[in-house]
Amino acid sequence: MGKTGTAVMTTSTPAKGTRAVLHCTQSPVMEPTAFKEIQAPHQQVKIREMEIDDIAKIFHLGEQLFQAGSMPNLYRTWDEFEVTELYNSDTENCLVAELDGELIGFALGTTISKSNSAWKYGHLVWLGVDPRCQRLGVAEKLFFRFRGIMRRQGVRMLIVDTQAENLSALRFFRKMGFGNPSQHIYLSLNMGGGSQHARKKTTP
């Protein structure tokens, strides 16, 4: 589901994005899953913590999902350093989904603590699922496991970012209980050449 979860890549043109929050102390009522179960009975989607050997697989799957032209991120760029950095700093917050031993999805996140706040925040930075497996409920399974990890770490609120035009992602996150969306437009400046590009940011 590409970035049905969270990710959006930086581009040189203005892009609108939406940030939504979920209070981890709440237990939102979930609608029946909209995903149709199409795998054979013996096939089970397995969610586990990311391992170092998964880095290359996650990166290559993300390359297919998060293309700069069609999937801009509000402020992060998908590359091998992004995956490695999150693995090194937040291993316990990085998950993969497997089906019959093949990596078919991932959720990469982190936690944020602010000096002037007693709250601890969780940020689901990237959520990606192999397009061939998007009707298996993989994104839901990844998210539920990630949310459980955040609760055990004392996170009070989860945050996600996605494109305002990514309606499938917005539907997914609302279904997962996220609300209070605020819109952003980001500005960027190309420091390597003579041309300048802007991405502005607004919060209505």
Domain limits of the chain?
15-31+43-186
- Calpha distance 130→147 (Å, rounded): 21
Nearby residues of 30 by Cβ (< 8 Å), 6 or more positions away = 175, 176, 177
Interval 173-202: pLDDT, tens = 999 998 877 776 666 677 775 444 444 443
Count of CB atoms situated within 10 Å of the CB of 20: 21
Interval 16-45: pLDDT, tens = 445 555 555 433 333 333 333 444 344 689
Residue range 15-31+43-186 forms a domain whose CATH class is alpha beta
